Amino acid sequence: MKHTVLIYIQAYNAEHTLRRTLDSVLNQTHTDWIVYLAENGSTDATGKIAAEYAAKDYRIVSKQNVVNNFWYFYIFIDEYLRKKLRQYPLFAMLDADDEYAPDFLEKSLAFIEREDLDIVACGNDFVDAQTGAVNGSRVLAGNLIIERDGFSEYFAAYHQFTRTVWAKVFRLSVLLKCDFSQAKSVMYGADTMFSMEAFRNASRVGILAESLHKYYVSPNSVSYKFDGKRIESDRVLHKTAYDFLISKTGAVSPRNNEFLLCVYMNALKDTLKVLLNADITQTEKLNGLQDMFLCDHARRLAAYARFGALLGNASVYTAQRKELFAGVVNWLLSLEEVPDEKVEDYCELGEFVSAACENADDWLFFKKLAVRFLLDQERVREALPKIEELAELLPDDEEIFQMRELTNEL
């Protein structure tokens, strides 16, 4: 049982993909494996397919859940992996719509044994679930071994492999050291928190420079659906990465700090797209944008001088940052109407994102709008400092002069 791999598959309404996934396991050149298949309360033929494969091969153990439970994986970890399945030395996880290359296990285990690794990860292809086209790959140029100071030195290279739990083989001895309670605190990004906790407890990690896993990208994926907790999850994941580096290496180097801000920028970009395409009200979208862009992390991103210089391309990363904030400005300006109770929030956000993308004209628009709103509300004391700020910048502006006159009348 020295090389037995326990493969966990959780399936919910996967009748169109589960056969492909299970066949990819059955076709492995390394045959010493056990599949624990959690049929998670499906309402289609998934349960029937799971039972069929379990009857066909004794290495496939099917567990039927009556009710769908998003967090069942962690029940499995606590109730089975820690207590009943400790005899299996190696663990892997496969989504019910993905597949392994036939030699995924063989090459992964050979790498683990040869390099004495706690975790091995490999590259993967991103496949369009509707067309079958490969839209990209995540593969390093060469094999990478990470240990000791390498967890800091190579962070930018291996960080992408901490984002997901699949395309990896873990030694069970490492997972048994882990505390996965934090992973259950986020609806979006639990995979990343799981993997980072495993990496934190590993002494030696290897990345195979081969694509041995296919990840099928579906428009129905949770990654493309807005959840109110996603915005906070982005911040939690950002903090988790910082905490990982401090725990593992004792510090966050300037380069890794800049890299993590870049990662956070990309998370904001993805969440922004999902938020603006969500079927929710404009007010809910505005609330979400406030939460995203008026937090400390976003302010630090906006204020970071020569952003991207330590990563080798300040012009590219600075342009991407500007594009992100400009996208928010454009959406705000596209609104035909803003409820009175949201005008101040609208202006505050508009001022910040306009400044962040160095758009002086739109910054002035939001600033003046805020003043006009305050004057309409006869909140003169609150309007006066803003008017003076504008007057200092634009002493000859006629509109600002009129604002001053109106304050005297009020």
Could you tell me if 220 and 280 lie in one domain?
A: no
End of a domain among 252, 279, 309? 252
Mean of pLDDT values over 348-368: 96
Q: Are residues 109 and 153 in the same domain?
A: yes
Query: What angle, rounded to 10 degrees, do the helices at 360-376 and 380-393 form?
Result: 150
Is residue 45 scored above 70 in pLDDT?
A: yes
Instruction: Please indicate, yes or no, whether residues 231 and 331 belong to a single structural domain of this protein.
Output: no
The answer as to whether 257 is a domain residue is no
16 within a domain of the structure (yes/no): yes
What's 36's domain CATH number? 3.90.550.10
The verdict on residue 260 lying in a domain is no
For residues 194 and 112, state if they share a domain.
yes
Q: Is residue 259 part of a domain?
A: no
Range of the domain at 77: 1-98
Give CA torsion, residues 384, 390, 391, 397, to 10 deg: -120
Q: What's the Cα-to-Cα distance from 241 to each of 140, 152, 307, rounded to whole Å?
A: 21, 12, 19
Q: How far apart are CA 338 and CA 345, in angstroms?
A: 10
Strand 144-147 and strand 204-217: the pairing is antiparallel
Per DSSP, the three-state class of 134 is strand
Q: Assess if residue 262 is contained within a domain.
A: no
- For the record, the structure tokens of 81 come out as 């992996």
Assess whether 94 and 105 both reside in one domain.
Answer: no
pLDDT > 70 in the chain, percent: 98
Do 115 and 74 sit in the same domain of this protein?
no
What tokens were used for 75?
């029940």
Final residue in a domain of this structure, among 30, 65, 98:
98
Tokens of 364: 């002035």
Same domain? For 93 and 106 the reply is no
User: Would you say residue 53 lies in a domain?
Assistant: yes
Copy the structure tokens of residue 27.
């076709």
Q: How confident is the model at residue 395 (pLDDT cuts 50, 70, 90)?
A: confident
Beta bridge pairs of residue 6: 34, 91
**DSSP helix/strand/coil, 119:** strand
**Residue 7: closest CA among 65, 69, 81, 71:** 81
Whether residue 263 is contained in a domain is answered as no
| Residue 115 sits in the same domain as residue 245 | yes
**Are 109 and 94 part of one and the same domain?**
no
Give how far Cα 260 sits from Cα of 231, 291, 329, Å: 16, 19, 24
pLDDT at 122 over 90: yes
Residue labelled with tokens 């309409």: 376
Tell me which of 76, 98, 120 is where a domain ends.
Answer: 98
402 falls in which pLDDT band (50, 70, 90)? Answer: confident
Q: What's the pTM?
A: 0.92
Give the Cα separation of 195 and 189 in Å (integer). Answer: 10
Question: 88 and 226: one domain?
Answer: no
Domain total in the chain = 3
**Coil vs helix vs strand at 280:** coil
pLDDT given for residue 320 in this prediction: 98
* 229 has a pLDDT exceeding 90: no
Kindly state whether residue 149 falls inside one of the protein's structural domains. yes
pLDDT tens digit sequence for 301-333: 999 999 999 999 999 999 999 999 999 999 999
pLDDT of 71 > 90? The answer is: no
For residue 247, give both structure tokens: 């725990």
Q: Let me know whether 283 and 308 are in one domain.
A: yes
Task: Tell me, yes or no, whether 83 and 119 share the same domain.
Answer: no
- The backbone region for 148, taken as left when phi is positive above 0, alpha when psi lies in -120 to 50, beta otherwise, is left
Comparing C-alpha atoms, which of 360, 371, 366 is closest to residue 346? 366
| pLDDT score, position 224 | 56
